[in-house]
Amino acid sequence: MSDASTPDSVEPDHEHEHRHEGPGYATPQAAIEEGEREKLAYVMSLYVGTDVDAPDFVSVVDLDPDSDTYCEIVDRIELPNRGDELHHFGWNACSSSCHMEGLERRHLIVPGQRSSRIHVLDAQDRRNPELETVIEPEEVFEYDLSAPHTVHCIPDGEILISMLGDADGELPGGFLELNEDFEIEGRWEPPGEIEMNYDYWYQPRQNVMVSSEWAAPETYYPGFDLEDVEAGNYGQRLHFWDWEAGTVEQTIDLGEEGLIPLEVRFLHTPESTHGFVGAALSSNIFHFWRDESAADGDGAYRAEKVIDFESREHDDWDMPVPALPTDILISMDDRYLFGSNWLHGEVWMYDISDPSNPRRADSLSVGGTFGEVQEVQDRELAAGPQMIQLSLDGERLYWTTSLFSSWDDQFYPEEAERGSVMLKADVDPRKGTMKLDEDFLVDWGECPAGPARAHEIRWPDGDCTSDVWQ
C-alpha cells in the first residue's frame, strides 16, 4: 500500500474499532500484513565537512531485486545549500494519524543538523521527490533553537522536531513545532523543561513521551573529545514527558553506565510502556518501563541496564576499544531489538519477548575495527554498521556506515575518501538468525561529485523507526 497514492483508503476493521481513513496502517500487525516489500529507500547523503563543492542530497535507492537498477541510487535530490549535514528526517504524517481523513504521508521533513536549515520535500512521486519549502536557519534561531534532530509527526498533522541547542549552539535545546503548512508554529514545550536533548519517541495512548541526551552542539559538532566527558558535557539522562502537557514528569539519571543515551524506542504496540535506549559511550542498552506498582510513586518509570557490550583489545589501539552501539530499533512485531556496534563492527539482534531479559539471538561481524567481513564485492568497508532500518516484515535489515562527519573523521578517516556503503542482512525472524547478503551493496563512493557519506534510511510507506500508533 502507498500512503501517497491511496490517501483515502479505508482499512477493514482488525482487532480494534477505530476507523482508518488517514495515512499509514491501523495497527503494527496491519503494517506487517499489508505493507509491501520495500522497493525504494530514502537515505540521507552528505558532503558537509569535505572539500567536495556540492550540497548534501537525499538519495533514492532502488531496493527492488527485480529491477535493472537494483542497488543503485536512482535519484538524488540536491538541496540548495552546502553545509547542512543531513542527519535524521521524518514524515509529515505516519500511522499515528491513521484516523485523520485527508492527511497523507507525503512530505519528508529533512533538517540540516549543522546548518539548522529545514527542508520539506514533496514525495508524492515516490521515485522523484521534489524540494518544496525551505525554512532558513535565521527563522529557526528566532526561537532560540538550533541543531534539529528527530522528526516525528504529531497525530493532528503538525510536526515536532527535537532541537539540540540554542541559537548559539549552546544549551538548552528544546522542541520546535511546525504546522501543517510547514511553517514554524513555535516552541512546543514551556521554557526550561530540559537542558540536553537528542532523540525522542512518544506513546500517545499512554500519554507519554521519552527523550534522550547527546550534548550541546558546540560540544559534539567539532568531534568527540574525552575532555568533554570528564567535564560532564555529555548526557546520561532520560526524560519522561506528559505528552499532552509537554512537560517533563520524571527524569532518570542512568549514571556512568548510561553515558550518551542516543536512539530511544518504545515498543510499537500502543498499549506498551516498555522501551529501550542505547547508551553509546558506555556501550550498554537500557530497558525502561512504567512500574505500576512503584511503592514510591504512582506508576513511575524505571530504567535498568539489560545488555552490556564489553570493550575489546586491539593491537593497533592503545586502549580497549568500546563497542559504541549508536543505533537500535525494534521490529514491527516487537519481538526483536536490533542494533549496531559502530566501532566494533557488529550488527546484533536480541529477542525481547521478555523485555527485562533480552536474549541474544544472533549477530554479524562486519566492517568496523573487528569485523570478520571487511569487504563486500571487493569493496573495502571503511567503517562499521551505523544507522539501521528493518523491513516491515522483519526479514531484511539494512544499514549505512556514517555516524557524523566530524566523528567519522576521528574514528574512520578513510570513510571521507571512500564514502559510505549500504549493506543488508537477511533475517529469519522465526529462527532468530541473520545472514549477510553479499549480493547487496550500494556504494556512495561512486557519487558523481565525489565520495559521499550516508546516514539515516526510511521507506516510502512507513518503517520501524518512525511509525507510532495512537
Partner 1 sequence: MTSHDVTLEWPDGRTRTVEVDENETILEAAECDGSVLPYGCRTGACGTCSGRLLEVEGTRPSNGERAGDGDADVCAVDDVVAYRRLPRALKDRHRATGYVLLCIASPRADCRIAVGSSVHSELVDNPWK
C-alpha cell at 9: 483508503
Q: Is 176 in the site for partner 1 (CB under 8 A)?
A: no
Alpha-carbon distance of 27 to 68, in angstroms, equals 34
Q: Please pick, from the candidates 64, 218, 375, 437, the single residue that binds partner 1 as defined by CB under 8 A.
A: 218
Q: Please pick, from the candidates 33, 78, 168, 253, the single residue that binds partner 1 as defined by CB under 8 A.
A: 168
| Number of residues located near partner 1, criterion CB under 8 A | 43
Task: Specify whether the CB–CB gap between 169 and 233 falls below 8 A.
Answer: no
Unique residue bearing C-alpha cell 549500504: 422
CA dihedral 113, 212, 109, 396 (to 10 degrees): 110
64 or 170, CB closer to partner 1?
170
Distances in Å between the Cα of 293 and the Cα atoms of 262, 290, 328 are: 28, 9, 28
Q: Is 318 in the site for partner 1 (CB under 8 A)?
A: yes
Q: Is 315 in the site for partner 1 (CB under 8 A)?
A: no
Q: What residues have CB less than 8 Å from 448, skipping those under 6 apart?
A: none
Q: Is 457 in the site for partner 1 (CB under 8 A)?
A: no
* Phi, psi values for residue 96, rounded to 5°: -65, -15
Task: Specify whether the CB–CB gap between 455 and 46 falls below 8 A.
Answer: yes
Q: Nearest to residue 312, comparing CAs of 368, 352, 269? A: 368
Residue 449 CB: number of other CB atoms within 10 A? 14
Binding to partner 1 in span 14-73, by CB under 8 A = 48-51, 53
Q: Which stretch binds partner 1 (CB under 8 A): 5-13, 240-248, 251-259, 319-327?
A: 319-327
Q: Please pick, from the candidates 65, 320, 357, 372, the single residue that binds partner 1 as defined by CB under 8 A.
A: 320
Q: Please pick, from the candidates 153, 262, 416, 436, the single residue that binds partner 1 as defined by CB under 8 A.
A: 416
9 or 406, CB closer to partner 1?
406
Q: Least CB distance from residue 106 to partner 1, whole Å?
A: 29
136 or 304, CB closer to partner 1?
136
Q: What residues have CB less than 8 Å from 390, skipping those under 6 apart?
A: 329, 331, 332, 338, 396, 397, 398, 427, 463, 464
Q: Least CB distance from residue 128 to partner 1, whole Å?
A: 28
Q: Which stretch binds partner 1 (CB under 8 A): 154-162, 261-269, 292-300, 404-412?
A: 404-412
Q: Please pick, from the candidates 186, 222, 255, 299, the single residue that binds partner 1 as defined by CB under 8 A.
A: 222
Q: Please pick, from the candidates 82, 302, 305, 335, the single residue that binds partner 1 as defined by CB under 8 A.
A: 82
Alpha-carbon distance of 349 to 89, in angstroms, equals 24
Interaction site with partner 1 (CB under 8 A): 48-51, 53, 82-85, 114-116, 137, 141, 146, 165, 167-170, 217-218, 221-227, 316-322, 405-406, 409-411, 413, 416
